Amino acid sequence: MTTPLRLGIAGLGTVGVGIVRIVQKHGALLALRAGRPVEIIAVSARSKTKDRGVDLSAYAWEDDPVALAKRDDIDLFIEVMGGHEGPAKDATEAAIATGKDIVSANKALLAIHGQALAEAAENAGHVIRFEAAVAGGIPVVKSLTEGLAGNEITRVMGVMNGSCNYILTRMEDAGLSYEAVFEEANQLGYLEADPELDVGGIDAGHKLALLASIAFGTQVDFDSVELEGIGSVTIEDIHQAADMGFKIKLLGVAQMTGRGLEQRMSPCLVPDTSPLGQLQGGTNMVVLEGDAVNQIVLRGPGAGEGPTASAVMGDVMDIARGCRISTFGQPANTLRKARAARAAVPAPYYLRLKLLDKPGALAKVAHALGEAGISIDRMRQYDHTDTTAPVLIVTHKTTRTALEEALSDFKSTGVVSGTPVAIRIEAV
């Protein structure tokens, strides 16, 4: 009889339970597709007595995930606990040291320690797979490492946090403020225990750093990701951007430029007719661009029990079949350390200003933009209050440096009230 692939699962939250359900429900099908049985041998979680809605009685129990990782009767260690330090890191390192392959859904762990873990695993002749760590059920890691392996990747872009996309689309559809929809999303359980991981762009930034490493053959470098969350996006920005034919998305973009690797996760405007502009609710979308394929768009659920467990099992099945790909698509010791570039590629920008009701106010703003080398594509003024008038400006392509020069010069014009809003417009 063919030797089974024996699994140890660390973490029995939503994703861990989803994995158990798939193995229990589709055991015979998995064996046919893998050419060998796939069996759960042991599990580990914080509480043994908690009712998780699945029968765990057939599996050995370990209170300590490190002990689970060291068991002689498992071949593959599945880490779905989360956290970039502590038990998750300790157990992953123990699994590598004791000769296990690893499947992980832990984006934070890999974004911060991925290079060291990949080198350790590959030096020991083992693999780390992490499809579930990026964009849930969307097979974007497999697309980059396999389907698009014949391409030089030119850009990776996407909406990679469903909670943020829910908040932004809900604000637009219901006409509600950010604060109101944030509270609603929190009550519905859409946000992490620390909501800043979602709305601050950190969660999505981890994912972007992992994809950039695969796409550009560089060491994963989360510290160089420019992060800006959605907390400053107002309902006025959403409505007024819509008037100009745009949608606001928390957008991740990674691209290699002449100045280095640009990685940023920030609110951007995209055309409302584009696939990204039409993305609604908690769905994720990743756009991959390569020199041979041009552009492909991957869309699907970015989180949840079924989609994430499905991604884990895709990696499990590859390992069961004997498919052994380097963690980041090429040997970890060949990945180069990229020079970080800050928003190096020119782009148009959306500017929202409140101008004081003074003669020549618009002319002074236009002059400040011109002095910075920025030309105006479109401009719109809205009904003014007693003292100020909202003005929207869409610029032609410019650099971030020139934009910051203009924003600084606005202060000396004496006609701009408050802090201007500037949001990059991304070509899709």
Residue type at position 164: C
Spell out where 258-348 has E strands. 260-271, 283-290, 294-301, 340-341
Give the residue from 418, 403, 405 showing the smallest Cα distance to 356: 418
CB-facing half-sphere around the CA of 297: CA atoms within 13 A: 12
Whether the CB-CB separation of 108 and 218 falls below 8 Å is answered with no
142 is catalytic: no
Structure tokens at 213: 């490493």
Residue 271 in contact with residue 245, Cβ under 8 Å?
Answer: yes
**Residue 283 one-letter amino acid:** T
Where b means 16+ CB within 10 Å and e means fewer, 216-253 reads: bbbbbbbebbbbbbbeebebebbebbeebebbbbbbbb
DSSP state of 12: -
What is the SS3 assignment for 152-209? CEEEEEEECCHHHHHHHHHHHHHCCCHHHHHHHHHHCCCCCCCCHHHHCCHHHHHHHH
The catalytically annotated residue of 107, 142, 207, 354 is 207
DSSP, res 218: B
Which own/partner pairs from 26-32 qualify as long-range (CB within 8 Å, at least 24 positions apart)? Answer: 30/313, 30/317, 30/320
H-only helix segments in 259-357:
305-321
Q: What region does 5 belong to: left with phi over 0, alpha with psi -120 to 50, or beta?
A: beta
Q: Going by DSSP bridges, is the β-strand pair 246-257/388-395 parallel, antiparallel, or unpaired?
A: unpaired
Q: How many CB atoms lie within 10 A of CB 82?
A: 18
Compute the C-alpha angle 237/423/174, nearest 5°. Answer: 25
Can you tell me the distance from the alpha carbon of 108 to that of 128, in angstroms, rounded to the nearest whole number? 14
Determine phi and psi for 3, rounding to 5 degrees. Answer: -65, 130
Catalytic residues: 207
